[in-house]
Chain A
Amino acid sequence: MSASELSKGKCVKTYEEINAKIRAGEVVVVTAEEMVGIVKKHGAEGAARKVDVVTTGTFSPMCSSGAFINFGHSNPTTKGWKVWLNDIPAYAGLAAVDIYIGATEMPEDDPLNKVYPGEFRYGGGHVIEDLVAGRSVRLRVLGYGTDCYPHKLIEKDVFLKDLPFALMVNPRNCYQNYNCAINLSDRTIYTYMGTLKPHGRNANYCSAGELSPLMNDPFYRTIGLGTRIFLGGSIGYVTWQGTQHNPNALRSENGTTRRPAGTLMVQGDLKKMSSQWLKGVSMQGYGSTIAVGLGVPIPILNAEMAAFTGVSDADIYTQVVDYSYDYSHAVARNYGEVSYAQLKSGEIEVNGKKVQTAPLSSVVKAREIAETLKKWIIEEAFTLVEPVRMLPDK
């Protein structure tokens, strides 16, 4: 803190000052859960003086995830036209041996929802998990033959360690809030929000609440292009706002959004990731995807950031949405709003009836990610990166 800032009595810290503390082993890091009590006890200003970094985390199914892979040249050379990994088609319209494997891709011969509700046992997300777990994956490449790439077929087992390049690139992760889903029809429905019983008899939600990264930096003041993060058990980066990023969603007075809002595009070296934090997911009747572990460290630059990170489950709200008709027909209607404290209690009230809730997002794992980030910062000098470009906030 500089003398001029001290004289004003306001705590203001820079990234450089926080990083200097990290290098000196003097940094104070707490998780977003721990920050709730600290801000309550000491106020935002007091908390900002005490705490330098707040760590966040989330672990849940995140569609719009995948990986760029270069599988290396064969001899004679092959220009990949159609490419499969364990029978899952990968996008090959890039260069001769570059592909993108998407988490929700399914084998061409999968029954999908023909036998309803489909099981979606193995998809692109499972391929990524298998690769990261060190298991062999069958690579099949069809070429059409050119003068420079005369070979037309490759079929072999590959391991992640032998692939020349593998980068996880997720165009949309880490949603800032999400709907609480119910089903008001008279039959069970199978959605990306899980299985929903008829007549609104259960409600599923999917956010880590007070631990969730964008709940703790609701206006994207510190999370931007270049932010270094926890991704899939290793280090990753925020590389843009995610697709469908919507900063203009309805907000509470504390800044948190009451609707799905901001999103992050992230990437990181797949070879360094762990299958503990990347898990292929099968959503019955919906499809396959991947559960991604993601955590963001938030620098407490001032009292405002302390206040933002001090937000608790009781202060964060979302809307209850009917997925049997409203969601699928873009009807902008909800059946009330509930706080994450209510959702996490296991029961909410919808239309005057008590409804049992179930999460799709793991609080246990989100907490473990926040704790891991804390450890990285304190013990491994994981420093914070000042974004080179901020995410759109309006």
Chain B
Amino acid sequence: MYTRMYVLRFPKDITDQPIICKLVKNYDVEFNILQATILVQQEGVMVLELRGVKANVDKGVAYLKSLGVGVERVATSIRRDSDKCFQCGACSGICPTGALYIDRRDMSVLFDLEKCTGCALCVPVCPVRAMEVSLNRSSISAPFPASLAVPASIS
């Protein structure tokens, strides 16, 4: 089973459409909504886990992109600053998905990006603030395809 965690950013003009419903019906993927702020006439953000045959997940993602939905792997929005982190392990007690965990053989503190849902519980718990999570709206870097971002008159 292929599993991927995505941050989806919905342009405000399509937040009223049943996009996730169609995604599931047409591409035969399982989904798990981990975070969602979708309001009519506002840009929406969703953290979505997709599971299924890889080809289906890829097709589903292509469908989302075709609608103008910004699709980014959660992994690209999360970072552990390894200079700051001193591997104490405080985060391992609070991480709900086991993305931050301790290898019991040598007590090293590891970070498995693929399991991270971007919940950000680790951010304030880390004594040296080594975890950086940028899933909120203010940190949107390049969320939309250029065709949507650039006004029609210019293109």
On A, residues with C-beta under 8 Å from B are 59-61, 117, 119, 121, 194-195, 202, 204, 279-284, 291, 344-346, 356-365, 367
Contact = CB atoms under 8 A, between A and B. Distances in A.
Given A284-B125, A346-B104, A361 B93 contact: no
A194 B128 contact: no
A352 to B, nearest CB: 20
Contacts of A284: 124-125
Contacts of A283: 127
B123 to A, nearest CB: 9
Given A119-B124, A364-B109, A359 B129 contact: no
B86 A291 contact: yes
B89 interface: yes
* Cβ-closest 6 pairs across A and B: A358-B93, A363-B107, A281-B127, A359-B89, A364-B87, A284-B124
A361 B102 contact: no
A194 B87 contact: no
Chain A CB within 10 A, most for which of B93, B102, B125, B129: B93
A294 to B, nearest CB: 13
Contacts of A61: 127
Contacts of B94: 195, 202, 358
Contacts of B87: 362-365
B125 A364 contact: no
Interface in B103-118: 104, 106-109
B129 A364 contact: no
Chain B CB within 10 A, most for which of A119, A284, A344, A345: A284
5 contacts: A121-B129, A194-B125, A279-B128, A284-B125, A346-B102
A364 B124 contact: no
B88 A361 contact: yes
B29 to A, nearest CB: 32
B90 A358 contact: yes
Contacts of A360: 88-90, 127
Contacts of B108: 364
Contacts of A358: 89-94
B13 to A, nearest CB: 37
Contacts, number: 76
Chain A CB within 10 A, most for which of B88, B92, B106, B107: B88
A356 B93 contact: yes
Given A194-B93, A358-B90, A359-B90, A291 B128 contact: yes
A282 B128 CA distance: 6
A72 B39 CA distance: 59
Chain B CB within 10 A, most for which of A121, A279, A357, A358: A358
Contacts of B104: 344-346
Contact of B127 (A202, A291, A346): A291
A376 B109 CA distance: 26
Given A281-B127, A359-B88, A361-B88, A204 B93 contact: yes
A365 B125 CA distance: 19
Contacts of A202: 93-94
- Which secondary structure dominates chain B's binding surface? loop
Interface of B: 84, 86-94, 102, 104, 106-109, 124-125, 127-129
Nearest to B103: A364
Contact of B128 (A281, A344, A361, A367): A281
A204 B90 contact: yes
Contacts of A346: 92, 102, 104
A360 B91 CA distance: 9
Contacts of B84: 279
Nearest to B87: A364
A250 B94 CA distance: 31
Nearest to B89: A359
Contact of A279 (B86, B89, B91, B124): B86
A346 B105 CA distance: 11
A6 B86 CA distance: 46
Contacts of A282: 127-129
Given A119-B124, A283-B127, A357 B93 contact: yes
Contacts of A291: 86, 88, 127-128
A242 B26 CA distance: 68
A61 B126 CA distance: 12
Contacts of A281: 127-128
A282 to B, nearest CB: 6
Given A345-B104, A346-B102, A346-B104, A362 B127 contact: no
Contacts of A280: 128
A204 B104 CA distance: 16
Nearest to A284: B124
A121 B94 CA distance: 19
Contacts of A344: 104, 107
A291 B86 CA distance: 9
Contacts of A121: 129
Contacts of B90: 194, 204, 358-360
